[in-house]
Homo-oligomer: A and B are copies of this chain.
């Protein structure tokens, strides 16, 4: 049960709500603080009790709404917050009208390499730098990234180019070190339902870039975002990166419908990663254009100076020249389909 208080309501009003809960043996957690206090009752309750409490608390002073839902999201929803969220990191915004492009290699391989690609994507017009220092690998014997050394290289590339850094964090114990160097904390597709990790990044004051699991429905993606929001971190970016289907021509099937669906359901910005979805670089430009036309707030694109020599995922990386050509198309397209992005068409 979620209880939404009126803005700037007196503390006493909150106290009265808590009192009613306490009498029934229930506690509440603070989901968001004043001026707009939101309380959550996490205990499961019998339907009869839910009904009784909903009526009772709705009637209390300064209570705006009581949402008696169970397995559903709230803080991520358009009903909760109508205006689009603009996530800010390293002086840049993502969401709310402008198209943002996150570009860079799959993994940081060397100091020189990441600096070179950062300068290249910046010249081509990218807004954020991506690059993995901690890499999730299906096999325990694959290259797992440079770790903290990779983070230092990313931070240096960021200083030199002014591009904020998006990079993945794989484990709860790595959250502090990644947060020290990165501007945006990425949760990878395999960890979309690693709830301990979601709560750990929910306690940081850095934005979270949350990738949809290969197997996750859009509702599950929103519920995972809710884990971060419920911990008090309102800066979440959602990323569609392909789902598993029977079609073998692509690594995953880019679910382009996710863009207009998410834009309707949530105020959070929506980014598309065509590189991981397709798994083949020759498909990336067409999918990137499609994502922007469908209303995505941003793109995440893998770029490598020499894709054929990359240590991971080279097959799907654009080289700097192809990335530059793509960027030339994106800007006028974003301008043209802006009204769509602003929701006029939907």
Contacts and interface: CB of A to CB of B under 8 A. Distances in A.
B171 A196 contact: yes
B283 A261 contact: yes
A254 B243 CA distance: 12
A93 interface: no
A139 B294 contact: no
A142 B223 CA distance: 11
A292 to B, nearest CB: 7
Contact of A196 (B172, B256, B333): B172
Nearest to A274: B257
B337 A333 contact: yes
Contacts of A326: 345
B294 A289 contact: yes
Nearest to A224: B138
Interface stretch (A18-26, A49-57, A67-75, A114-122): A67-75
A248 interface: yes
Contacts of A346: 282-283, 285-286
A198 B247 CA distance: 22
A44 B145 CA distance: 11
Interface of A: 1-2, 40, 42-44, 69-74, 136-144, 170-174, 190-191, 193-197, 199, 213-220, 223-224, 226-227, 230, 243-250, 253-257, 259-261, 264, 277-278, 282-283, 285-287, 289-295, 311-312, 325-326, 329, 332-333, 336-337, 339-340, 345-346
A217 B289 contact: no
A55 B73 CA distance: 41
B253 A71 contact: no
10 closest A-B pairs by CB: A215-B215, A171-B196, A293-B293, A260-B286, A190-B193, A290-B290, A289-B293, A290-B294, A244-B246, A256-B256
Contacts of A255: 245, 247, 253-254
A67 B140 CA distance: 15
Contacts of A171: 172, 195-197
Given A136-B193, A227-B140, A247-B243, A286 B259 contact: yes
A110 to B, nearest CB: 13
